[in-house]
Each structure stands twice: as structure tokens, then as C-alpha cells.
Chain A
Amino acid sequence: MTDAILDRLPQAKQPQTYLNEGYTLSSWLLTTDHKRVAILYALSITFFFFIGGAAISLVRLELISPNGMMLTDEQYNRLFTLHGIIMVWFFLVPSIPTTFGNFLMPMMIGAKDVAFPRLNIMSWYIFVIGALFTIYALIAGGVDTGWTFYTPLSTLYANGSVIAAAAGVFVAGFSSIATGINFIATVHLQRAPGMHWKRLPLFVWSIYATSIVMILATPVLAMSLLMIVAERWLGMPIFNPANGGDPLLFQHLFWFYSHPAVYIMVLPAMGVVSEVLACFARKAVFGYTAMVISLMSIAVVGFLVWGHHMFVSGQSQFANLVFSFLSFIVAVPSAIKVFNWTATLYGGRITLKAPMLYAMSFIGLFTIGGLTGLFLASVPIDIHVTDTYFVVAHFHFIMVGGAVSGFFAALHFWWPKITGRMYPDNWARIGAMTTFLGFIVTFMPQFFMGYAGMPRRYHVYPEQFQAYNVVSSVGAVILAVAYLLPLFYLTWSLRYGKPAGRNPWDATGLEWQTTSPPPKENFDRQLVVSAAPYDYENT
């Protein structure tokens, strides 16, 4: 009650927030405030999200016709490569950790800032340098290797700007590593008094698990890209079979990073969904311990399953068997998370606000993505559907249906905290439902198309797949509208939105105990934590 009154009072004197600390450009570019760094990241990845989206819109438009209408093979290949590289490394991998992780994780553990604030802003600059390399590769004509950079295509045959693109990803990787180290140190050493490990919100756990994957997987990607550059640029044989090199070695190194990278994308989204579900069901997350254990075991076992990307590559059948088995094992904790989220709703007091709708679409789409993962873990089925649209649909269900839905859930859940304004909830709900609909229409047909035998990365394709492709492209239009919609109503809310107050959702997290937007120091006093998270039943 007093909070509500206090919130209305500050009209008299402007409260100090991280936003009005300074208005100069240098106050942003030289900031060490984790919240401002988060905003810098958010602007950068939004830019890349729309570039990657524009590229794939052209691809989907082109695929309406089986013979190609407007693009050459060369342009088509460059567009889907661009889409892959940008979306994976310049949107999905940094998406939730560098924005919401950066903004909220320190607040959720009651800290003033991350462990190394200067390292934090530095990793944004490293990210920007990597981005500049990639943009240069783009302007210089693009790359046509696919985002996977398979050798010997990438090192000996492709004629795009492979080196610039690889350098971009290489540099951006160090930004990931720096962020990961920073976050792990923050969670270990910056928790407020009373914030035991067992009291950490699941979002913090998810960022922690993600950071571990980041610092252990990314260096391997960096090294494999370095080898690509050494072979392509300096002519040193590493993977070239003519000199005795083994192109499969690259694939092993690449997937040793790129499979865990999927967990870098989806683990934070899982954390977001846990926060949002608890808040809008007004209930503690069911099975907190099981949730933590499954987060951590996904992060660990995720390192042991990369070989399931290579069932038809010529690796031994024994390896196929082992990787198949481990891939089934890693699916168990994911399944448990879905059950626990569903059980969280049981007996709750549910309101279907926009963040909740996004969180629920995450659960639904992630379930479909996860189950189709079982198809791909089964060797005989994978032999048939790998490198087809079935795989494309599967990983988009995880990365877009999962990670991007999680991102939008987070955006709508914490927008009032970050900006201090409420957005129009009805518009947001329309956005959430359009996203879900557009997503299903875009990607469901791709499962059928893939099983029927349409390979991925095909510019021209057999006519019998046209029906699927047309439906998919129609879905992409809906999806594009759904993704543009928030841009408008969220921008509108910055100026015209109702002031949010400290805690518009009546949520329990520490981040809600300060003003919105928060002051530079986050809290006006040192917080002391005395209860487990998600104490909704007692409020």
C-alpha cells in the first residue's frame, strides 16, 4: 500500500534512474552500469534480428516458386548463410544472456552490478568488432558456405568472404567467453546475504548453466575457425584430404561447440519461462530442485552429444550408437522440465497476460521441438531426414519456438521494470497469439516436406514440394507481422505507456523490490534474503 503511494509521489522530484544518470553519448558508450550495457546489447541484437529476418524473408519469398523467380543460386546461398550466421551468433547466442541476463541477473541476486563491470562493457565492444567484421563480409559480397563452414567447401572451394565472416564469429566468441566468466563470477561471489544457492531464482540458475557452456564450448569454436582461416588464407593444410587431412575433424570440432550452442540459446529461455509461469500462476515452480538438476545436467550432457549431427558423415556405426544413446539421455531432463512447468499451473491462480501467453507458447513449441529431437536421435530416421527440412523445422521449433518465445516472454515480463512503462496488454496478447499461429503455419509443413524428402538449402526444388513451401511462406508473412508488432506498441509505450510502478505483476523476485526503472545502484539498501524464491502463496 505504501509502495503504491510512494510510486505516485516522485512526480514531484525526478527519481534517480539508470536512464537519467546521464544523457551524453559517452555516458552510454563508456558506461559500466550492467543495465546500460544490457540496453546497448539489446539495441545491437535487435538490429541483427531484423537483418537476419530480412534475409530469410527473401529466401521464403523465393521458395514460393520451385524454379526460383528473382534470385540467382549464388544470391540464394548467400542469403541463407547470412541468415544462419547472423541469427545464431549475433542474435540467438547473445540474446537473453546479454540483455536480460545482464540487466536482471545482478538484481535478482541482490547485487549492485556484475563482478567485473569494465569487462562487461568491453565484451560489448568485442561483440561490436565481431559484428563489424561480419557486416564487412556482408558488404564485400557475402558468404555461401552455410553457417556451418564445412570444409573443404569453406577452405578450398567457396568464393565468398569466408575469412571475414569467420573472423567476425571468432571475435564475437570472445565476447561470449568474457560475458560467461563475468556471470559465473557474479553468481558465485556477488549474492546478497541469505541468497543461498537453493534460493537462487531459476532464471539465475539458467544464466549460470548457460555461462558454463559458453566458456567451455566457445573456445573450441574459436580454434576451429582459426584453423579454417589458417587453411584458407595461409594455405596450410589442416582439413584438406589431398594432404592427408580429415574434413570430418572440422565437423567434430564445430559440433562440439555448435550443439552446446543450442543449449546456450534455450537454457536462458527455460529460466525466463520458469519466472513468468510462477508469477502468473501465483505459485512456486513445481519441483525446484529437479528443475535445477535438469538445467545443470542438460548443460553437462549437452557436451557429449555432438556426434548426432554426423550420423551419415561416415563416422563409425559404434560412434553413431553411443551418440544416439546420449542424445536420448539428454532429452530426459528437458522432458522433466516440461512436466514440471505444466504441474506448476495446477492449482494456481492463472491470469493470461502477454508474458504468460509467450511462456505457454514456449512450452508447447519446445515440447514439439524436443519430441522431434527424439526422431533425430534415432539413427535410422536421422539417416533419412538429416539435411532435410525436417531438421530445419526441428531446430527452429527449439531456437525460434523455444528461445525466441522465451526472449519475447522476458521482454514483455520485464519491460515495465526496464523502462518503467506499461505497454498495451491487448496488443501484446494479439502479438503473442499471432507469433504462435505464424510459427506453426511456417514450420509445421516443413516437417512433412522434410520427411517427404526435400533437402535443406535448396534453391530450386522438385515441384511436388511447392504446396508445403507456399504454406510455409504464408506463415512467414504472419510471423514477420507478429515480430514487427511489438516494435510499434513497445516504442509507443516508452512515451505514452502508464507508469509501471515498482511491481506491476506483484512478482516476488528481488528485481521487483526497487523502483522502475531501477536506480544506478539497483537498490537503496543492502538486501537480505530470508526465503526461497517464488513465495507466491504467502503474499
Chain B
Amino acid sequence: MSETARVINEPWPSLPRQREAVTFAVWLFLATEVLFFGGLFLGYTVYRWLYPEGFLIGAQETDIVYGVSNTAIIMTSSLTMAVAVRAAEQDMRRMVFRCLIATALFGLAFLVVKGFEYYDDIIRGFVPGPHFPLHQTGAELFWTFYWVMTAVHAIHLTIGIGMVATLTVLLHRRKLPLVSPAYEGVALYWHLVDIIWVVLLPLLYLIGRAS
């Protein structure tokens, strides 16, 4: 009972009500995020439609090994995140703790792999600008979208890792009881970041390999 009292914030009369509000607000935020990325997806669609060959030629230069391993990593992180939320509902504190740490570590692993991939891309010169190696119209646009999309996604993931880490620390110090709606809110965000990556995978890595 006291745990419940500790997580209730003004102006909420009861925890279920507050939980409802948090979930609702996070869903609204996810709608915002969809429109945020929507701008990028729209640009990508327009240019891919204008320059189909350029996009194919550009996309063949992305490294699918990095793409697929990162997909595996981030999907696993979503699994551990989901388990953490279920465990929180069942009041399994240690389990929540371990799952959160695993989620944050998977997130970091994703960023490390992404870092290696960026390094490779830069070494090979695939940075849009005057010295861009591909000359087909559209290839450079593809790589612009590659960089902007993955960078914006990585920023989202970094924020996500920060939030998961905060939850972990608060849980460890027993400052955030398991009944708090924060776990569910962060998890929703985390899954969105995962889903966005799942959309990026075919757009950036798979299109060059279909034929």
C-alpha cells in the first residue's frame, strides 16, 4: 500500500488512473513520433520513385551483415524489455532488474555495431558531399537518407538507453516500486524504436538485394 502511495503523483487520485494516463500519453507521443519519421519516409518514397536505379545502386553499398545483426540485437532487446514489464506486473524484482540491464546492454551493443558500420561507411567514402563515390543520380540522396534515418534512430535509441538505465538505477536504490507505470511507458517507447528499425531495415539494407 505504501509502495502505491509512493508512486502516485499529483493530481491523480488512484494508481490505475495514473497508469491509464501515462500509457495514453505515451501512445500520443508515439503518434507524434510516427509523423516525425513520416517526414523522412515521405522524402525517401518520393526520391526512390524518382530515381529507382540510383537508389538500388546506392543501397547495394550498405552492409547487410551489420544491418541484420543489429536487427537481431534490437529485437532481442525488445524481448527482454517485454519480459521486464511482465515481471514487474508479477512483482519479480530480480527478474525486472536483470532484464532491464540486459535491455540497456543490447541497446549499447546496437550502438557499438552501428558505430563500426559508420566507421566502415566513412572509410569507404559514403558520406554525401563533393567526394561521394557514386555518380548515378539518386545514389547520393539514398545515402543522405541512410545517414539521417539511422542517426535519428540512434539518437532515439540513446535516449531509450538513458531511460532504461535510469529505471535500473532507481529500481536498484528502491526508489521506484514495481507498481509504477514508468516501466510500461519506457517499454512502449522502446518498442517503437525497435519497430522503426524494423521499417528501416528493408528500406536501407534489403532493397539492393531483392534482385
Residues of A within 8 A of B (CB): 32, 111-118, 177, 180-182, 184-185, 188-190, 215-220, 222-224, 226-227, 230, 235-238, 243-246, 249, 252-253
Contact = CB atoms under 8 A, between A and B. Distances in A.
A219 B24 contact: no
Nearest to A215: B32
Instruction: Report the 3 A-B pairs with minimum CB-CB distance, sorted nearest first.
Output: A223-B39, A219-B36, A112-B11
Interface of B: 9-11, 17, 20-21, 24-25, 28-29, 31-33, 35-40, 42-43, 46-47, 50-51, 54, 128-130, 137-138, 140-141, 144, 147-148, 152
B46 A249 contact: yes
A243 B140 contact: yes
B9, B46, B148: most-surrounded residue (chain A CB, <10 A): B148
A252 B39 CA distance: 10
Nearest to A253: B39
A65 to B, nearest CB: 42
Given A113-B11, A219-B33, A185 B24 contact: yes
26 contacts: A111-B11, A116-B21, A117-B10, A181-B28, A181-B29, A189-B21, A189-B24, A215-B28, A215-B29, A215-B31, A219-B35, A219-B36, A220-B39, A223-B39, A227-B43, A236-B148, A237-B140, A237-B141, A237-B144, A238-B141, A238-B144, A243-B137, A244-B47, A244-B51, A244-B140, A246-B50
Given A188-B24, A226-B148, A243 B141 contact: yes
B189 to A, nearest CB: 13
B49 to A, nearest CB: 11
Given A111-B11, A112-B11, A253-B39, A189 B152 contact: no
Nearest to A181: B28
Contacts of A177: 29, 32
Contacts of A188: 24
Given A117-B11, A190-B11, A216-B31, A223 B46 contact: no
A188 B28 CA distance: 12
Contacts of B10: 32, 112-113, 117
B36 A238 contact: no
A156 to B, nearest CB: 13
Given A118-B9, A180-B28, A216-B32, 8 more contacts: A181-B32, A216-B31, A219-B32, A230-B148, A236-B148, A244-B51, A244-B137, A244-B141
A118 B22 CA distance: 13
A216 B128 contact: no
A246 B42 CA distance: 12
Contacts of A118: 9
Contacts of A115: 11, 21, 25
